[in-house]
A and B are shown apart, each in its own frame.
Chain A
Amino acid sequence: MLDALTVAIGAAALALAAWCGFAALRNQPTKDWHFIGMGVVTLLVLAQLVVGIVMLARGQRPDEGSVIFLAYLVGAFAAVPAAGLLSLSERTKWGSVTVAAGAVVLAVLEVRLYDIWGTPGA
C-alpha cells in the first residue's frame, strides 16, 4: 500500500514538474489548472502521510527509523503546497519554475522514503 503510493506520487510529481516546466517555457505563470494538479498531488501525499502514520501506529518499523520516516513524510507533504503558495506571489514564469522545482524535490523525497521504509511488502 505504502510502496504503491510512493511510486504513484513520484510519478505524479514528475508529471507536475514537467507540466509546470512546460508552462514556464511558454512564459506563463501558474494557472488554475496547475493549482488543481498541485491539489491532486497534495491529496496523494496526504493519503501517504495518513497511511504512514497508521502503519507506524500498528507497530511496523521502517528500516531507517521512525523519526526520519515521519520527518520525510511531513516534508513531502509540505513541498508542493509551499511552492504553490510562493508561485502566487510571483505571477511570472518564475512562479511556474518554482513549482516545477518543488515537484522535483517531492520526487526526490519519495525516492528517499522508499529507501527509508525499506522492507518490501506491507
Chain B
Amino acid sequence: MPDTDHTPAAAGSAGAAPDAPAAPGGRRLVSGPGLLLVWLYGVITVGAVSRSVYQISTEFDRAPLPYTLTGAAALVYCFITYSLVRGGERARRAARLCCAAELAGVLVVGTWTLLRPEAFPDATVWSQFGMGYLFIPVILPITGMLWLRVRR
C-alpha cells in the first residue's frame, strides 16, 4: 500500500503505449515474447499439476517429500500463469515475486537432490534442476523475471 501506486489511469498517461489494442483494464503481459512465456508456463503447469495429482492421490506414502514439493511447485506455476494472463501492474509484481520464489525453489531442491539423493525415492519436477524437463524449470523463471522487469 505505501509504495507508489500505479493504477492504470486513462489511456496514454503512462507515456508511449506500445500496443494500441490492449485489453481493457490496462497492460497486457501476454504480448510478443510474453505469449511464448505464458504458453510454456501453461504447459509446465499442466504437467506439474497432473503429475502431483496423480502421485499424491495414488502413491503418496511411497515418497511424501518429493510429491509434496511437486505439489507446491504446481501451485506456484498455477499462480504465475494466472497472473500473466490477468495482466496489470499488481499481477506483474506478484508474478515476478513468484518467479523469484520458483527460481529459489529450483535451486534449493536441485541442490538438495544432488546432496541427499536418499531423501528422494522418486523425482520431483525440480530434481537435478529440472533435468527431466529439459531444464525448463530453471530457464523459465529467469526469462520470466527478465520479461517482467519492465513495466508494460
Contacts and interface: CB of A to CB of B under 8 A. Distances in A.
Contact of B36 (A79, A89, A98): A98
Interface residues of B, number: 18
The secondary structure that dominates the B interface is: helix
A44 interface: no
B143 interface: no
Contact of B32 (A67, A94, A105, A108): A94
A87 to B, nearest CB: 8
Contact of B39 (A68, A71, A75, A102): A102
- Size category of the A interface is 20 to 34
A101 B54 contact: no
Interface in B57-83: 58
B77 to A, nearest CB: 15
B32 A83 contact: no
B36 A97 contact: yes
A87 B32 CA distance: 10
Given A101-B40, A105-B43, A108-B134, A71 B54 contact: yes
A67 B34 CA distance: 33
Nearest to A95: B35
Given A68-B54, A71-B54, A75-B46, A86 B39 contact: yes
A42 to B, nearest CB: 16
A105 B30 CA distance: 20
Interface of A: 67-68, 71, 75, 79, 82-83, 86-87, 89-90, 92, 94-95, 97-98, 101-102, 105, 108
5 contacts: A90-B30, A94-B33, A94-B35, A98-B39, A101-B39
Interface of B: 30-36, 38-40, 42-43, 46-47, 50, 54, 58, 134
